[in-house]
Structure 1
């Protein structure tokens, strides 16, 4: 993950949330409060996917520092950006106002373990949507797929390797492949089509400016019928 997004977490879909929602909100709030506000970059796989598309309504799940949401809005998208951290959400609102695109960015605080933003979308982006806390990830992503309009795209980009700056250096960690993620979603092939499922490599930049080659697990799904 680039340094403008969330730190490298433990993969997993989670299960029952219990008190984890409160713990997760506290953790991510402390994370963003401890970091100075910074100009965030768009994730390259999102830019690659969205650049040729006609702008519409987009949803950014776990928007973090806001690089993706703000970039999409600058391209003409109407963006709903959601994060569990109130600080992250407020910073995105401030940055959108400074850039003159506040009318195209709706930043909302959501704990996606217990709720999902309203609306229908032409693009849903889930960039490194992983957490060390319990999260019904597959359920959230299935809900995201169901929120797509016909022809809409769900882009899921996950970590596929351990970066040197990751907080989890477990050599036995398993990163689900795109095929495994698709199997977990269990979407009806009559209503959704997999357009891309691969594991590209790229140079990434860590929080201290260090660089390394990392692998991304990419799944791109399109809703083909209502």
Structure 2
């Protein structure tokens, strides 16, 4: 409520929303998130030969930093300058600054300009407008022959989130089958992982919760360059 007693309109502009989110909800450590790699990304990428990687919606860079530390050359894109500043500072501290190119960009209008051996998108959900299906189709077009696209999403709404379709005006959380169908891939693509994976995690209040990840990994046919 405003001082005059009138309700305040919610922020709907994606850039304003995410900048405010990353500036206003930081913990004592100066970050919103843990800074650690997402479990599904680590599991799905650990056995792959490092090359070039594109991290879409990288946030504060937990996945990008892990990829760089494990031999990948990473381009990390996010709409929030505040989030990128956290990732860039951590990369500098960890001696990984020369392995990650941080890019501020709006994925709603982003178009790939080069090809990558790995394109990742982890938890690309938003309570404000985001053409997720279109973004992921463009992400697939950025995968080089022999490369992979990894999409990790919430298979069920985390505790206290607004991602359930009962809580916001967006579509319900898609299953891996729905994500695969929405990508509209050609026969040159091979599905390597399509699974709903449960994991336990320590939540913000210190409780132990069970989360469900929707994990899809597909490979584009052809030899890697």
Report the TM range for the smaller structure's normalisation: 0.7 to 0.9
CA displacement, residues 82-138 of structure 1 (integer Å, 9 cap, x when unaligned)? 100011112211111111110001111010001235321111111011112222212
Pair member with larger Rg? 2
Alignment of 1:112-123 (within 5 A): 112-123=107-118
Which of structures 1 and 2 has the larger relative contact order (alpha carbons within 8 angstroms, sep 6+)?
1
2:218 is equivalent to residue 221 of structure 1: yes
Query: Does residue 30 of the first structure (1) align with residue 17 of the second (2)?
Result: no
1:7 is matched with which residue?
none
Question: For residue 193 of structure 1, what is the aligned residue in structure 2?
Answer: 190
Q: Name whichever of 144-153 and 32-41 sits farther off.
A: 32-41
Normalising by structure 2, report the TM-score. 0.84
Deviates more, 1:97-106 or 1:197-206: 197-206
In the alignment, what sits opposite 1:180? 178
1:73-152 map, 5 Å: 73-152=68-147
**Aligned equivalents of 1:128 and 1:75: distance in 2?**
21
CA-based RMSD of the aligned residues comes to: 2.1
Q: Which runs of at least 4 in structure 1 moved beyond 6 Å after TM superposition?
A: none
- Number of equivalences: 205
What residue number does 2:59 align with?
64
Structure 1 residue 45 corresponds to structure 2 residue 40: yes
TM-score by length of 1: 0.84
Unmatched segments (≥5 aa) in structure 1 = 1-20
Contact 1:65–1:91 (CA under 8 A) maintained in structure 2: yes
